């Protein structure tokens, strides 16, 4: 069900592993040698790690909604926070309409909510604030899809996500040079971060896979 997302995620994780391999090969044997290319590659590893996190979150959500779209139910059959995504167009129409028709739009929202028609699901909806992916966005995803279990797997801290996001943004937006950030880390430390992000990405995919397989998106299943 999520095999394509998993394969593409693993491909991106492999990029980080290959970059880490290169970093280890570039590591100077003499600690007194100051190698810029060594530090630059260490800095860019954070960009690579961030790309895996963003990919898995955005694409696993899209795939989940796509699967729900293939076998739609009546809106009231879904658990409550999932309705935030399913009825997103109705919420948007209220937000964007003029005062003249706002009450009609509110009525339309409840007509859709209590309708006996099957839900019309837009798989492009992403239920979070749209900012760079961090622990807050993962918390939102867990909440709005009623995912079971912890947001983060054992051994993975929210501080790691904050660290990766901040370093990626600092490099991407030119606030800091990759060499300056990379110079703060050893290959051993970076290796641990790569393994943690691999664990996190697979954990996210498994959470959605379990939710869909067990139909945890339905009220009747958890009632």
Output the pLDDT for position 33: 64
Gap between the Cα atoms of 211 and 61, Å rounded? 12
pLDDT of amino acid 63: 97
What tens-digit pLDDT sequence spans the chain (223 residues)? Answer: 999 999 999 999 999 999 999 999 999 877 656 689 999 999 999 999 999 999 999 999 999 999 999 999 999 999 999 999 999 999 999 999 999 999 999 999 999 999 999 999 999 999 987 668 999 999 999 999 999 999 999 999 999 999 999 999 999 999 999 999 999 999 999 999 999 999 999 999 999 999 999 999 999 876 5
Q: Rounded to the nearest 5°, which phi and psi values hold at 74?
A: -70, 145
Any idea what the Cα angle at residue 148 is, between residues 12 and 131, rounded to 5°? 50
Q: What is the pLDDT of residue 129?
A: 77
Report the distance separating Cα 49 and Cα 17, nearest Å. 10
pLDDT the model gives residue 202: 98
What distance in Å separates the CA atoms of residue 213 and residue 4, rounded to the nearest whole number?
A: 16
Alpha-carbon Rg for the chain in angstroms:
21
Distance between CA 168 and CA 42 in Å, rounded?
12
In angstroms, the CA 204 to CA 61 distance is 10
Q: Whole-prediction pTM value? A: 0.93
Position 124 scores a pLDDT of 92
Measured torsion, CA atoms of residues 27, 31, 32, 37, in degrees rounded to the nearest 10: 20
92 CB-side CA count, 13 A: 8
Selection from 53, 28, 54, 55 nearest residue 42 by Cα: 28
């Amino acid at each position: 069900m999520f095999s394509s997302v998993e394969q593409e995620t693993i491909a991106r994780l492999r990029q980080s592993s290959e970059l880490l391999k290169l970093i280890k090969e570039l590591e100077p044997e003499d600690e007194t040698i100051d190698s810029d290319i060594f530090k630059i590659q260490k800095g860019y590893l954070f960009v690579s790690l961030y790309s895996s996190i963003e990919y898995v979150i955005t694409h696993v959500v899209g795939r989940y909604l796509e699967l729900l779209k293939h076998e739609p139910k009546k809106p009231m059959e879904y658990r409550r926070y999932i309705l935030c995504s399913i009825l997103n167009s109705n919420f948007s129409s209220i937000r964007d309409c003029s005062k003249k028709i706002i009450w009609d739009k509110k009525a339309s929202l409840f007509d859709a909510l209590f309708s006996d028609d099957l839900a019309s699901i837009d798989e492009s909806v992403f239920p979070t604030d749209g900012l760079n992916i961090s622990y807050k966005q993962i918390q939102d995803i867990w909440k709005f899809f009623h995912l079971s279990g912890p947001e983060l797997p054992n051994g993975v801290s929210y501080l790691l996500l904050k660290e990766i996001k901040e370093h990626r943004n600092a490099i991407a937006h030119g606030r800091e040079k990759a060499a300056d950030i990379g110079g703060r880390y050893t290959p051993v430390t970076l290796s641990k971060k790569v393994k943690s992000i691999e664990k996190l990405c697979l954990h996210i995919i498994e959470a959605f896979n379990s939710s869909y397989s067990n139909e945890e998106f339905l009220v009747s299943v958890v009632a």
